[in-house]
Amino acid sequence: MGINNIPVIAIDGPSASGKGTVAQQVSRNLGFHYLDSGTLYRLIALVATQRGVNLADEEALANIAKQLRVTFKDKEIRLGGEDVADLIRTEACGNGASRVAAHFQVRKALLGRQRAFRLDPGLVAEGRDMCSVVFPDATLKIFLAASAETRAQRRYKQLMEKGADVNIATILQDIRERDARDSDRSVAPLKQSANSSFIDTTLLNITEVVNEIQRQYTEICVKNV
């Protein structure tokens, strides 16, 4: 099967919209591969911070992106020998990622690496520009939305469960700032791509969102038979 015939479900949406959890479940249910593209930007932010690289230095960041030696295995994300899965999930790394991701050269350096995840029998890819740039020919494109307050509550709950000492007002402020930065930037801004399906998850739970995406995917498959 040619690579462009391998199905892709591309899922985008603002920070804390639940796209990670939803995408993982859909990929598991369908037996598809999974790409969490935000992880790549978080990894670059982590390496840059460890090396003292300024997050405004596009060229240095693009070099980090090109040389990134990362392996994904189950829940482990190995950078060199170290499992950094927990380290990159911090709010600081998320904010750093959003700054790193604003650089065109960084995005360009990651393009091929992301497309290489398109493997048989299919891929669920989540993150900004999955629908518009990385997989413009995706079989199904989804934009997940939820109010900033709902997203702050979800993130708060998630962090509390991990035992983190967090404050909901700070999380809400972070989410608003990240939304503004992600929406206003000139390179790959956060916006719904033209032919994607909009799902407002404010009043839906994870299972309902997962089922809706799978329903839409099945509908497309049936039409294409």
Nearer to ligand C5P, 127 or 219 (CB): 127
Contact 169, 31 (CB under 8 A): no
94 binds ligand C5P (CB under 6 A): yes
List the structure tokens of 12: 């985008």
* Continuous H helices in 6-161: 19-30, 37-51, 58-67, 91-100, 104-115, 148-161
Helix (H, G, I), strand (E, B) or coil at 36: strand
Q: Work out which of 23, 25, 26, 37 binds ligand C5P, going by CB under 6 A.
A: 37
Give the count of beta carbons closer than 10 Å to the beta carbon of residue 177: 13
196 binds ligand C5P (CB under 6 A): no
Give the nearest distance from C-beta 117 to ligand C5P in angstroms.
12
| Binding residues among 95-124 for ligand C5P as defined by CB under 6 A | 97-98, 101
132 binds ligand C5P (CB under 6 A): no
Contact region with ligand C5P (CB under 6 A), list: 72-80, 93-101, 162-170, 196-204 = 93-101
Size of the site for ligand C5P (CB under 6 A): 16
Question: Tokens 């299919």 identify what position?
Answer: 122
Rama region for 119: left / alpha / beta (φ>0; ψ in -120 to 50; rest): beta
Contact region with ligand C5P (CB under 6 A), list: 126-134, 138-146, 160-168, 169-177 = 126-134
User: Among 6, 8, 2, which residue's Cα sits nearest to residue 196?
Assistant: 8
Q: Work out which of 25, 106, 129, 144 binds ligand C5P, going by CB under 6 A.
A: 129
Give the residues lining the site for ligand C5P (CB under 6 A).
15, 37-38, 41-42, 94, 97-98, 101, 127-130, 178, 182, 188
